[in-house]
Structure 1
Amino acid sequence: MTGNPLYIAFLWHMHQPYYKDPFTGIYRLPWVRLHGTKDYLDMVEILEDFPEIRQTFNLVPSLLEQLRDYTENNATDVYLSLTMKNPQDLTDADKIFILENFFLANWDNMIRPFPRYYELLVKRGLRFIKGELTRTIKYFSVHDFLDLQVLFNLSWIDPMYRRKDPFLSELAKKGKGYTEDEKKLLIEKQFEILKRIIPKYKELNAKGQIELSASPFYHPILPLLWDTDLSKIAMPHIRLPQKRFSNPEDAVKQIKDATGYFEKTFGYKPAGMWPSEGSVSEDVIRAVNAEGIKWVATDEGILANSLDIRLRDYSGSITDPSRFYRPYSFSDVSIIFRDHKLSDLIGFVYSEWEPKNAADDLINRLLDIRSSLPHDRPYIVPIILDGENAWEHFRNDGHDFLRCLYERLSNEKLLKAVTVSEFLKYDAGEKLGKLHAGSWINANYSIWIGHEEDNIAWDYLNDTRTDLEAFTKLNPCKPVDEAWQAIYVAEGSDWNWWYGDEHQTETQEEFDELFRLNLMKVYKVIGKETPPNLFVPVLRENRAISPEVIIRGFINPKIDGLVTSYYEWYQGAHLAVGKSGGSMHRAESLVSHIYYGFNQSTLFLRIDPKTSINDFPPDTTFSINIAKPFAFRVNVAYRDGIVQPGLFEKKNGEWEKIKDITEAAMQDILEIAIPFKDIKAKAEDELSLFITAYRGNEEIERCPWRGNISITVPTPDFEATMWY
């Protein structure tokens, strides 16, 4: 490719669930406020140092509404209320809550840089049992709690502002022994940062350096509001809710409200939209077109299914770059398709690399893409991901990486960072004959529908909406706006993100309760008795947990306890232990990630420590507990640098050792190979397993902490079936 540069479209998606309790008006979780001070402002301010870099920021209206609620209406959240409370007045329940929740930050990058903060974490316990906190609080002084209140909030302020602001800089240097006045001023600084966010986006947008786009108001999965039966297109055998949900008018309402709120905030309607979770369908695209949207973005899997082609080969390489790196259109709406691999490198991989090496790697990949393309037209590489959730996993909140990347990109004449609309002036896109109905995850909607919990939630929503609609018809003069707002909030994607078998967080119960509270609010407004089922959690204890990345092919890792190569486990699955896809963390974890995969004959498991294997208690044992199809357990003890793995079978209610495991190693990570024949598993059997960690005879951790990992033993043609 000569002549044209390769155009790069970064789209940063800024979103948080709607955390407000509909009865109290208090936010149940603090992540809008805390990501506001750590991520939303600096992500756009850093661009002022790189005027050649143009980007697109997708701002979800419900996030903007929550930010404005904090800055204009003095909104508060449970965590802020407990921050402002004088430690002398804290109840035991307050203290337990603080010790459980005020360490919800990345340990390495947000807690360890503050020695006193890490000292308090160790004092609380790196791993703890919730019931023990009743005793633990007795060892924390008033000054301990005051320091913890300050350091939790200080750690969630971006390092750039901690350096630039004299007060914040001195507060960080002081490190401990804080005063009530300092705490109050810290929170004032938080709100100063929050108040600068929207004006800064307006400023850079007016300069033309950034484009602003939107999502549907409360972040719903639009195609499922349109018709839950659309999920059958990608998943013909899906088990659907008992009642079909089909309310296209709600999808249109969420789009209209989004563009209206955006116009109220920024003075014009957006040209572009990231449909929540990249979820699209043909009807939805027609609806966004009717509201004046000129372009949308979604994932490469949607393009592959729309064109009925395989975009990537077995190695993960793009098979025909000229068909991928270009826009398309449907119903007069241009569509760009996210490069899943490059986006995930930023979101999940580069945080472990040296910043310059990571930036160089991405630039080199982009240059390789450019060299693979013909010179017949301009081409675009869309890199689309969360704009707030990745950075706590990077040192210095990602600034070192971003600065290296932006500097390289600014100086590289063969690459050019543009806004989406800027590129579409060159090429509005070739028309698609059809558009696949799906999302950015696996090109389907399985995250949000199909699991027992998901389907229960859809039925609860459907029943409540039906009751509200019936009441409205019988009482046309009664004010029910609050009730409809609660319905629209409950239609958001975030509740079902945590239902089902895919994601876990220690605050799942909060999400479950917020979903049901919004439905309860409907009955409160219309004066009807709340159905008893809404008082019962949707969450079920016994469920399978799906990985963030599914198994895509056979693997044959070298069992040496080392990360020999990133690609060694690339075709396998991985599960982040306690990762919320965002800002919540399992504070008590020994384990950070579980990887698993197989070849025709063997199951492979890998356990990555949260810190270092050397930090494990000396009498730590891991147990791989296999419940299906037969009960087996693999115990892996690590004593004096020697791995001692054994396979046990449950016979007559007792565990009996049947053999040693020959392939196991623990150095930087734990790796183990378990032949399927040893656990009596044959092709198409479902394995159900979970991993426990013991200190002596005491269980100190379970992974996943709720439910189990489900693995289907492969058939001989497994790899062929994984192509699309």
Structure 2
Amino acid sequence: LSDRIGFSYSQMPAERAVEDLIAALLEIRRQVIGQNREAVLTLALDGENAWESYPENGNAFRRLLYRRLSEEQRKGTLKTVRFSEVLGLPSVPIPRLATGGWAGDFAMWAGEPEENEAWDRLSRARRAVLAYKEAGGDPKVAEKAMGLVYAAEASDWFWWYGQDTAFPNNPPFDEAFRALLQAVYKTLGKEPPEELFVAARPPIAPQGAPGRVKPTLDGKGEPEEWKGAAYLPDPDGATMQTPDDLIRGVYLGFDEGNVYLRVDLRDGVRARDLVGQGFRLHVYATAPGEEGGAAFPEGSRVSLGFPLQQRITLDLDQVREGEAVLVRYAYRDGAWVLASSPADLRGRRAYVGEVVEMRIPYTTLKAEPGDTLRLAVVLEKGGKVLDTAPNANPLSLALPQRLTGREVLFLKDPEGDEHGPGTYAYPKDQAFAPFKGLFDLLEMRVLDSGATWTFIFTFKEMTNPWGAPAGFSHQLLNVYLDFKEGGRTDPFAKGAKVAFDPEHPWDLFLKAAGWPQYGQRVGFPEGTDTADGIVVGSNPADKQVIVQLEKRYFNPAPGQRVCLYVLVGSQDGYGPDHFRPVGKEAGQWNLGGAENEDAPLVVDYLWPEKGVQEAMLSRYGGGKYAVLKPYCVTWP
């Protein structure tokens, strides 16, 4: 009922909405009145959020609802009460309060680096108050400090962190949250920790995604050698302490064991011209698994938008014959300390010529395949920052997962068939650029990885304009497996607008999307689903969606017949089961090319032979959905 008020009734006339709610309340009364005449039903929802979607801010709906509730109260059917009036009624203890929320899980409030860091900062502030109390501190001071902690525990602070909101890491909320926690320490008579001066900013979007490169490091910066890298132009006139805006742009890429950076300087300035002039070029980065970090780079009081936990430094006065060793520093107890290891000495190198080219081993960065780093490049001279790239937001680098296991299945899908029944066209919003390839499934591989199966889906293109936590914004995968008797022939949830071959009902459903709260699920024919035992990720550089599934759900015997339905849709957080709608004409947010309302919402379907997908998906209309045939294989 709360959901109806929050999300449905705003789209109805007030009279119809109120009668629907009253009817629901009376039906609940009918079901429980025989067992408990004192039953209390609670309607709870965010008090202000719903009304912005209603005509007249919901005034007409509420007036009519109060009038109808008063009428029912006079009839003796329903009675409105305050909580204080029912506290004395007989009650039943609840031994365990279930974890949950209106969004299904807590992915909107926790899980992304900025969200987790905010919770950790709050936890440390709370522990500081408790330690003050235990040490015999002034009770009034402790009470005031704990009141600030309670204010910081409001869930809305964490809603605004991360990439899964319309305004990622909204600066006013970030600043206000950090100010609250700073006030906790000041109330206790302590200096706020440095971490509370670190602004949380979303990663900047470079041109292209960081990909695999294998440059010949010689300081020349040949374009072909950096073709797979992301490029971040550094605009002039940024917020710097001096007008020396020397960095023109940064290239970022990687291979299986190293991160590569190329720094280009503004026109007329060669990198070798800075040698012997007192310049240092730093790469500040996060260190996976570590807490804290410096708030500002050395020589500046401007935050780079993330905690600075390690620094890789090129001292341009130490360049010899165009080459220099990179030196690693770690931030420990408020100071930068030397933390280089001789083990990777040969790997961490810089080459200075027309440009600066750097090779930084994963081992230097204390990173593993699958880790995500945030980093920025800083040019400094004489202890003073001259230029940074980016200027206030970090670059994000997702190192590719190392996919291991024996390949047991490989299926190709025709390139260029991301048009459903043959007629579908992309939405028109720029978020769907380059307007081809995003839904074009090219192949599916399955690896036997021991306790899990690793499903790898490779697409023609992959972008992440909305900052999905799993690394991909557009692709929505529904996989149905038929490997035993029984099952269902309709989709797990109403969304795809297809039906399945009656000869091959499905036994297991896998759902993968970039948002874990709904895109990391295992479903069963009886209608239940779980996020347990499935992990969804990606290798953006290789344009791969990766699904790891525990074998307890699916473990066919060698030689067993297994049939697969693999559906690709366009992910829409507000669409039916997160499928993007298809209209007759493409709009800003909807696909185009449907003949009628029975059109499938499937953009690509895995089938190796050309034309089969189009034939199946085009048979819809007259109240009937397209019926899909599965692709069947013999399990090796």
Whether the TM-score (by the shorter chain) exceeds 0.5 is no
* Superposition TM-score, scaled by structure 1 size: 0.30
Query: Which structure dedicates a bigger proportion of its chain to strand?
Result: 2
| Greater RCO, 1 or 2 (C-alpha within 8 Å, sep 6+) | 1
Choose 1 or 2 for highest CA Rg. 2
* Superposition TM-score, scaled by structure 2 size: 0.34
